[in-house]
Amino acid sequence: MGLFEKVSDDIKAAMLAKEKVKLEALRGIKKEFLEAKTAKGSDGELTDEQAVKILQKMVKQRKDSASIYTEQGRPELAETELAEATVIEAYLPQQMSDEELTAAIQAIVAQVGATGPKEMGKVMGVASKQLAGKAEGRLISEKVKSILNSL
C-alpha cells in the first residue's frame, strides 16, 4: 500500500475516532498529494519518493509557521501547527540519529575526497541525494559544515 492509499484509509479512521487535529493534517496531506498527481506535466501517478518530498515540505512549513506564531505571542496557533507536524512526521521514513548522520557524512567526505570548507558544495551535492528523506536538509548542511571545518 502506497502512502496515498494509507493516508486515505487513515482519514476514514480519524473521522470515526473524531480526531480533529489528525483529520485536518491528513486532509492537508491528501490535498497536496492530489495536487501533485494532477499537476501539469504529471503522469497521474505519485511515487512514494515524491510523496516523501511533499511530506517533508509540509513538516517544514508547519514548524516555520509555529515559530512565527510563537514569536507573535500566539501559542494556541503554534500548538496546532506543531500537532499537525507531528501527525505528518509519522508518515515520513525514520530519521537518522545524530551519530548515524555524522558517520554517513564522514563517509561521504572520504568518498568525495574533500579536504576543507571550500568543498562544501561538492559534499552537499552527494549528501543531499544519499540522505534525502533520512535527515532534514538544514541538519545535513550544519553537520557537513562542522565536519569540513574540523579538517
- Walk me through the domains of the chain, giving residue ranges and CATH numbers: 3-89 (1.10.1510.10), 98-149 (1.10.10.410)
Q: What pTM was estimated for this model as a whole? A: 0.76
88: nearest Cα among 35, 24, 140, 132:
24
Residue-wise pLDDT tens digits, 68-112: 999 999 999 999 999 999 999 999 888 888 999 999 999 999 999
Residue-wise pLDDT tens digits, 116-151: 899 999 999 999 888 877 888 888 999 999 999 988
